[in-house]
Each structure stands twice: as structure tokens, then as C-alpha cells.
Amino acid sequence: MNSEIDGADLASAREHFIQYLNDLKRAHATILAYSKDIEQLVSYLAEIGKSKVNQVNKNDLEGFLKKLSNEGYTTKSLSRKINSIKTFYRFLKNQNKLTINPAAEISHPKYEVKPPRILSKMEYRALRDACRSDARTYAIVELFLQTGIRISELAALEITDIKENELVIKPQENHPMRTIPLNKAAKSALDKWLAIRPKTQSMNIFVTKTGRPLLVRNIRTTIDRYFKIAGIEKAKVNDLRHTFIAHHLSAGTPLTVISKLVGHKRLATTEKYLDLVKGQMTENVKLEEL
């Protein structure tokens, strides 16, 4: 790989970088995000006459970020772009293709991290009611609410991952395999969907009408649509996972149990929800099983 990058243009370096991420078995969504970010950077650098790895300096990178800011990118989006750029240039530096890393001193913009949104009892009931006639979406919503599963994990679920009243979550993005109990509500919703699921060679639990695996972006778009139908504002798919965690904390489920169920690497990550629960939760109830 080293000799191929020597003196190569940025476009070629980007291809090697993406291959490197694939070799590391990084998540598909992560690789796609890095790929698009660096492609956007390479395109900008070409516009200012820089096509070689060793031509780029810190000012060029800051010019790119300033351009994005002027185009309306949020500070959070810019911070993600910076992560991609820093990772790209660390890769080049580690491959001895750079003497000086132009991204090393690029700093992240400060932005306020909003607390997780927790759906109230009335809101998650409204969401269920809104999608009740859509068996696939209803099963997806129930899995989010009853298991706290990540959207990427849900998209990757296969039929063989259902073990009677348990759900096996395969290793993903350095998260180890774990098993989550399926309560009556989740199991019933899954069974109703599987009974009408299109016959296909795909093993994925959630598929389109034509039998293709339902992608993360498809799931996000679908849930966003039902949020609107249910009249739930300023909510995102990940907030269903936050709701699972918060409601169980409010109901007295031990931190260690919740942390294991949702796949947190550190107990401290789960603990961060404690103050949030005290401030936002008003009902000391578990999610109801339908």
C-alpha cells in the first residue's frame, strides 16, 4: 500500500483510506460517512488547485471548514467532518506519506450537546397507535421501545437471531454480542410481522416489499414519518432507545442490568441518564406491554 500512495493524488489516497477502514471491519455506516466527507474535501482541494497529498496545509483545511460553515453546516456537522479529516490524515501520517500532519492542530468547534429526548407515556402510546396498522413499522417501534436496541443493530437483525423469547445481537462496531429478552409486546409484534413478511432469500428480519433488506436510512425515514403522524415533535429514532433506558431507570431497574441490555461499554454511560430521569420523567412506570 505504501508504494502505491507515494506521490499519489488525493483521490487515490482516499481510496486507500477507505480500503483501510474496510480492512479494519468498521461499520458500513461509518465507512460511508468517512468516504463522503473525504470525497467532499478532495473536491474542494481540487477546486483550489491542490490534488497531491503533500500540497495541502492547515490553511487549506480551515478554508474548507469555513466554506462549509458559510453554507449553513451546523457546528455538530462540522465537528464530524473534522473527525473524518483527522482520521484521514493520521492514516497518511502513519503510512509515512506526510512529514507534517496539516490536520493535527485543527480544533473542534464548541457546541451544546442537547440532552437525550425522552418520550412521555402519552407520546409513545400515540406513536404505537399511529403505526398499529403497519405491521413492519409497529414491530420496529416495539423492538426499539422494549429492548433499547440501536438502529444499526435492528437493521442487521436476521431471522436466526430470534431464539424463542430472546434476541441475539451480533457483534458490531466493537460492541460484543449480547442477548436481550423479548417480552410479550415485542414478541407479539415480531410474530405478526413475520407472518406477512415477503418471501425472500434475504435473512434480514426487516425487508422491503420487494424483499430487500431495510436499510438504516429507510428505518429512520419511516419512523420520522410516523412521529409526524403522531404529532410528536423534535424527536429522532435514537430517542426511542433513550426512552427505554430512562423509563427503566425510573422504574428502578438496576444500572448494571440496563447497561448490559443496551450494550453500553461503560457503566458511566448509563449513569449519565440518572440526572436526566430526575429532571424529565414524571411517571414512575415501565413501558406497558400491549
> DSSP string of 41-67?
HHHHHHHTT--BGGG--HHHHHHHHHH
Predicted local confidence at residue 278, as pLDDT: 64
| Spatial separation of the C-alpha atoms in residues 256 and 271, rounded to whole Å | 10
| Spatial separation of the C-alpha atoms in residues 106 and 100, rounded to whole Å | 13
All domains of the chain in start order, with CATH: 2-94 (1.10.150.130), 121-280 (1.10.443.10)
Would the pLDDT of 284 be above 90? no
- Asked if residues 154 and 143 have their Cβ atoms less than 8 Å apart, the reply is yes
Residue 27's nearest CA partner among 212, 214, 170 is 170
Would the pLDDT of 3 be above 60? no
Contacts of 252 (CB under 8 A, 6+ apart): none
- What grid cell was written down for 130? 399511529
Average pLDDT, rounded, for the chain:
88
| Spatial separation of the C-alpha atoms in residues 18 and 162, rounded to whole Å | 33
| Beta strand extents in 111-242 (DSSP E only) | 162-163, 166-169, 178-181
Residue 180's nearest CA partner among 107, 97, 263 is 263
Predicted local confidence at residue 270, as pLDDT: 86
Q: Give the least confident one: 8-22, 102-116, 152-166, 231-245.
A: 102-116
- What grid cell was written down for 261? 441490555
- Asked if residues 202 and 212 have their Cβ atoms less than 8 Å apart, the reply is yes
Would the pLDDT of 276 be above 80? no
* Sheet containing 178-181, strands listed edge to edge, beginning at the edge strand earlier in sequence: 162-163, 166-169, 178-181
| Spatial separation of the C-alpha atoms in residues 222 and 244, rounded to whole Å | 19
Would the pLDDT of 238 be above 60? yes
- Asked if residues 120 and 166 have their Cβ atoms less than 8 Å apart, the reply is no
Q: Give the least confident one: 72-76, 125-129, 171-175.
A: 171-175
| CA distances from residue 118 to 13, 106, 248, 258, 278 in whole angstroms, order as listed | 42, 34, 12, 16, 12
> What does the angle CA 128 – CA 124 – CA 208 come to, to the nearest 5 degrees?
45
Would the pLDDT of 282 be above 70? no
Amino acid type, 251 = A
| CA 212 to chain centroid | 20
Strand, helix or coil for residue 117: coil
- What grid cell was written down for 17? 483510506
Provide the CB-side half-sphere exposure for 130 (13 A, CA).
Answer: 19
**pTM score of the predicted model:** 0.66
Please give the torsion angle defined by the CA atoms of residues 150, 156, 158 and 162, in that order, rounded to the nearest 10 degrees: -10
pLDDT in tens, 166-221: 999 988 767 788 999 999 999 999 999 999 999 999 999 999 999 999 999 999 99
How does residue 4 score in pLDDT terms, banded at 50, 70 and 90? very low
